Structure 1
Amino acid sequence: MSALLFAALMLPPPAGAASEDFDYFEANRTLIRNGVQAVLMCNGLFTSGRSLEQVFDQELAYMERVGGTVGTAAGGDYTIDSERRMVGVGSDEARIRAVFRTGVGCVVMAPHQTPDDIGGLPELKMSPPAGDPAAIDWPDGDRTGPPVLDGIDAAALNAASDWAFKRESAEQVTVSLIVLRGEDIVHERYAEGFDRSTRTRTWSTAKSIAVTLIGMLVDQGRLRLDDSLDIDWLPAVDHPASDPRQAITLRHVLNMSSGLYPVDSFDLEYATGSGLAYWAGASSAAGARRRGLIREPGTFWDYENYDTLVAVYAMKQALGDEKTYREFPRRALLDRIGMRNTLVSTDRFGDFIFSSQVYTNARDLARFGLLYLKNGVWNGERLISEEWIEFVRTPAPATLDSGTEYGGQFWLVPDGRSDVPADAYTTAGNRGQFAIIVPSRDAVIVRRGLDYGKQGFNPWDLTREVLKAFPPPAD
């Protein structure tokens, strides 16, 4: 299908024409609404260690905006099995359960599954890295001394912190803020009910962690940016070489310009696509590979969770076996830079949902940002190449005509914005999850949120406020 024809199909019908005014996805939306609540309740209780009241007040506050329907769980349509660490929401065929599994956090089950199926769900039993983090100096551990503020305006830094926490909009809920200058933590603050051990969902900040792991394989020559992904697309065809999706490269999917049919936009995010994998037990890997090509790869930017998950599937294929794949995030990255509190969740098939479903704390995200600030080197060892860092910071070619705000699974300073350094770049996740790297000011800024509603938190405004406390940049 040509891009012109696809665009025509997306136009509203002409005046007077019949319209499709029945929501044929309502059954899906019901499953997903129940699943959102089950997963967030399960992780809130058993991954984050928060109370049910806290989960209802904050994690689930945004449910009023999902499909225009208030969540049902706070009204009593749920069950909690503390022994199994399982939450169920909804009734009959629309009931969705999520259960905590060791090493991966909460896994969502399919509607037809029962507690008898828990034993078959994936888990990761790996020993923690050696040593007590409380006795290991930051950043490898958590032992810190008083902040070293030489040259930093403490009053301005505290004002920036108040700016982040004391929002005029009740929809912007900052739960943690960490500011680094070089390796040093110069500011750390938590909202009531949170501390440095509290894990919360990264949402799409997970994509930046995924691209880091993928970059390691590119650096090793096990994946190539501009080669065909050469994966088993679905549905299978008799002559795979003739499938036009063979033209899609790793660069295309990491730049969110695969050309594949959109399933997370045009009001379908909570009706189909990745929503069914995130919240209703569908296969994330199968769904990602089951989209047809509608545009020439690399020519159109469209933010799709499944583009990331196609890349993650290619990573899995490159790693070769299930055990290596399941252990790879910890062995290659997390354990090596002290991200001990980070859980990478999977779907029920064992595939990482690396587009959203990672749970971590603010300090671990600060370590992640610090790895990029240190240009990919940790304790003298290069973990990611300078070339890969340059790739993730380079505007996606398909964005050049519409504003160069997106690179390779990282977000960039918008065109025309002159109040923050142009070399800054950031992770970004729903509800306000940011790890902002500012190389020219030797700074990392981590903000975690539980935002809801339409008034999103702006990371570049935060960057502007924090950098007011830093010494002027060198000439």
Structure 2
Amino acid sequence: MIKFFKKIRQRHLLATIFLASNYLGFSQQTETYDYLKSQREMIQRGIQAVLTCNGLFTSNRTLKQVYDKELKYIDNPIGNAKSGDYKIDWDRKSVTIGSVENPPLMRAVFREGIGSIILAPNQTFDVIDSLPIQSLPIIKGNPAITPWPEGDFIPEQKLPDYINTNLIAQASKWSFQRESPEQVTISLLIVHKGQIIHERYAEGIDMYTKTRTWSVAKSIAVTLIGMMVDQGKMELDAPLGVEWLPKKESSENDPRADITLRNVLNMSSGLYPADNQNLRDATGSGLSYWAGVSSEKAARNRGLIRKPGTYWDYENYDILLGVLAMKKALGNNRTYIEFPRKALFDKISMRNTFASTDRFGDFILSSQVYTTARDLARFGMLYEQNGVWNNTRLLSENWIDFIRTPAPLNGQSNLLYGGQWWLVEDKRNDIPKDAYAAIGNRGQFLIVVPSYDLVIVRRGLDYGKQGFNEWNLTREVLKAFPVDYKTSDE
């Protein structure tokens, strides 16, 4: 009988071990299948369509240049400059990536004054005539004979004696001759007291070549919004007043109604992150950038996960909520589509700048602006001159103070952030603390150093790990100035 019970206990123990091992097996399961693979492939084709279309028809580059430089951003782009599974319609200024045998087809088409617009997957060009266009006349005058900065004519000039031209040349060499082949500088422009003291372009690039700003566009967006706030048409600490999605019968109790303009401009909306955890090109803003999703609807369709203003979280859709509030304040589509040109670009002679929209006519001012190094320098000069251009104030000092004030709780990051502009890290002792920068993917940098009367523009076509550092560039340029520049009599 004792032996019988011992056998029972042994069998029970073995069964327990078996069940436990199976339980542990289940608990150790990991998610390894990429359920979004087909969507990522669609996005990749969309990226290629937009970058190729803009490269050819906005930047006026050759197809070989597009493949050699612009498309370095993509792993394994489809085809090459000679042939591939794509179609370019030079008359219609459009690009199709993919084929009927290899769906979905992703199409992009150039629109005057806007740049290239991505269509929805498999959407045909039958819709071209309904797509947004911006047809304001060009600024009067001939920029070739109009002196800088209103025009592009640079008369012979002598640099101030206190600037070490050899060290400026060294800074230029540092910018262009990088240790990594993934860091590709295409232009460097240095402006001191409104005077261009250095200008250099890579082969195949000149002062008229428009390239994508990426997130430098956010600093342009916050400038336009600031102008509206200065005019009393928007309020920094008032709720955005957008209609949140999805629509519900109890929408009056929606906690997102408390999100203010300040919250979204500080990247502290508290909304569910759409672009983090490698989701941008799967479920986030990449769908608006590269796949034809409505940018404003996607921005409105996020739930609240934190109290607004308590947590810094860099999200493309946050600034697009601010742009949507600006659109609402402007009142109608025509005023909205013309606003960047009339309020900013034309005022400071940014003749070669396109603010792009999605196919629904909403500006994607989180990333999609195409401009030149000189136009970005003009934009930087507006800030370096404390919001004044040609003795006319375009932007208030209060607004400039706002964009340079650290966002709440941004100590979560090693980088300091203000209002859609980046600030100098506390650990940097080699850069004046009054410096601030507009920064975009692939090495787009617009750096303003007020205490040195300085604007620095670096445009890049970086790819891979990238890693070009804006404050290291600033350090190299500042070496050409006296250490006591701020207190010198000059």
Taking structure 1 as the reference length, the TM-score comes to: 0.94
Mark the CA change 1:107 to 1:402 in structure 2 (over 3 Å): closer, same or farther: closer
From 365, 375, 382, the counterpart of 2:386: 375
Q: Distance in 2 between matches of 1:15 and 1:425?
A: 51
Structure 1 partner of 2:93: 85
Q: Which amino acid aligns with 1:172?
A: Q
Q: Distance in 1 between matches of 2:413 and 2:74?
A: 31
From 165, 175, 183, the counterpart of 2:194: 183
Q: Which amino acid aligns with 1:96?
A: M
Q: Distance in 2 between matches of 1:58 and 1:357?
A: 18
Q: Which amino acid aligns with 1:81?
A: D
The answer (yes or no) to whether the contact 1:177–1:447 under 8 Å persists in 2 is yes
2:173 equivalent to 1:165: no
SS, match of residue 457 in structure 2? strand
Deviation of 1:15 (Å): 9.7
SS, match of residue 416 in structure 2? coil
2:135 equivalent to 1:125: yes
Please give the residue correspondences for 1:243-254 in structure 2 after superposition, counting only pairs within 5 Å: 243-254=254-265
Q: Distance in 2 between matches of 1:250 and 1:443?
A: 30
Please give the residue correspondences for 1:17-56 in structure 2 after superposition, counting only pairs within 5 Å: 17-56=28-67
Structure 2 partner of 1:95: 105
Q: Distance in 2 between matches of 1:21 and 1:222?
A: 50
SS, match of residue 109 in structure 2? strand
The answer (yes or no) to whether the contact 2:85–2:98 under 8 Å persists in 1 is yes
Q: Which moved more, 1:44-53 or 1:110-119?
A: 110-119
Please give the residue correspondences for 1:194-343 in structure 2 after superposition, counting only pairs within 5 Å: 194-343=205-354
The answer (yes or no) to whether the contact 2:269–2:318 under 8 Å persists in 1 is yes
Deviation of 1:17 (Å): 2.8
Mark the CA change 1:109 to 1:155 in structure 2 (over 3 Å): closer, same or farther: same
**Count of matched residue pairs:** 458
Structure 1 partner of 2:14: none
Q: Distance in 1 between matches of 2:79 and 2:352?
A: 28
Q: Distance in 1 between matches of 2:357 and 2:466?
A: 30
Structure 2 partner of 1:71: 77
Deviation of 1:111 (Å): 1.3
The answer (yes or no) to whether the contact 2:107–2:122 under 8 Å persists in 1 is no
Deviation of 1:463 (Å): 0.2
Question: 1:276-298, CA deviations, whole angstroms, 9 ceiling, x for partnerless residues?
Answer: 11001110010000000011111
2:158 equivalent to 1:148: yes
Please give the residue correspondences for 1:318-467 in structure 2 after superposition, counting only pairs within 5 Å: 318-400=329-411, 402-403=413-414, 405-467=416-478
The answer (yes or no) to whether the contact 2:270–2:308 under 8 Å persists in 1 is yes
The answer (yes or no) to whether the contact 1:141–1:338 under 8 Å persists in 2 is yes
Structure 2 partner of 1:67: none
Q: Which amino acid aligns with 1:71?
A: P
Q: Distance in 2 between matches of 1:309 and 1:383?
A: 22
5+ residue gaps, structure 1, are 1-12, 65-69
SS, match of residue 69 in structure 2? helix
Deviation of 1:309 (Å): 0.6
Deviation of 1:420 (Å): 0.9
Mark the CA change 1:24 to 1:160 in structure 2 (over 3 Å): closer, same or farther: same
Structure 2 partner of 1:115: 125
Question: 1:244-267, CA deviations, whole angstroms, 9 ceiling, x for partnerless residues?
Answer: 001111111111111111111101
Q: Distance in 1 between matches of 2:29 and 2:235?
A: 48
Q: Distance in 2 between matches of 1:106 and 1:395?
A: 34
The answer (yes or no) to whether the contact 1:395–1:404 under 8 Å persists in 2 is no
Structure 2 partner of 1:474: 486
When Rg is computed on C-alpha atoms for both structures, the one with the higher figure is: 2
Structure 1 partner of 2:3: none
Q: Distance in 1 between matches of 2:282 and 2:79?
A: 19
Q: Distance in 2 between matches of 1:404 and 1:98?
A: 35
The answer (yes or no) to whether the contact 2:358–2:364 under 8 Å persists in 1 is yes
Deviation of 1:26 (Å): 1.6
Structure 2 partner of 1:174: 185
Question: 1:314-368, CA deviations, whole angstroms, 9 ceiling, x for partnerless residues?
Answer: 1100101000000000000000000000000000000001000000000000000
Mark the CA change 1:467 to 1:31 in structure 2 (over 3 Å): closer, same or farther: same
Q: Which amino acid aligns with 2:184?
A: V
From 146, 156, 178, the counterpart of 1:136: 146
Question: 1:28-54, CA deviations, whole angstroms, 9 ceiling, x for partnerless residues?
Answer: 211110000000000000000000010
Q: Distance in 1 between matches of 2:167 and 2:413?
A: 35
Q: Which amino acid aligns with 1:237?
A: K
- Aligned-residue Cα RMSD (Å) equals 1.4
Deviation of 1:403 (Å): 4.3
Q: Which amino acid aligns with 2:51?
A: L
Question: 1:119-173, CA deviations, whole angstroms, 9 ceiling, x for partnerless residues?
Answer: 1111111101111111211111111123431121000000000000011110100
Q: Distance in 1 between matches of 2:157 and 2:469?
A: 26
Mark the CA change 1:14 to 1:42 in structure 2 (over 3 Å): closer, same or farther: farther
Mark the CA change 1:109 to 1:401 in structure 2 (over 3 Å): closer, same or farther: closer
The answer (yes or no) to whether the contact 2:312–2:412 under 8 Å persists in 1 is no
Taking structure 2 as the reference length, the TM-score comes to: 0.91
Q: Which amino acid aligns with 2:96?
A: G
Q: Distance in 1 between matches of 2:229 and 2:174?
A: 40
Deviation of 1:398 (Å): 2.1
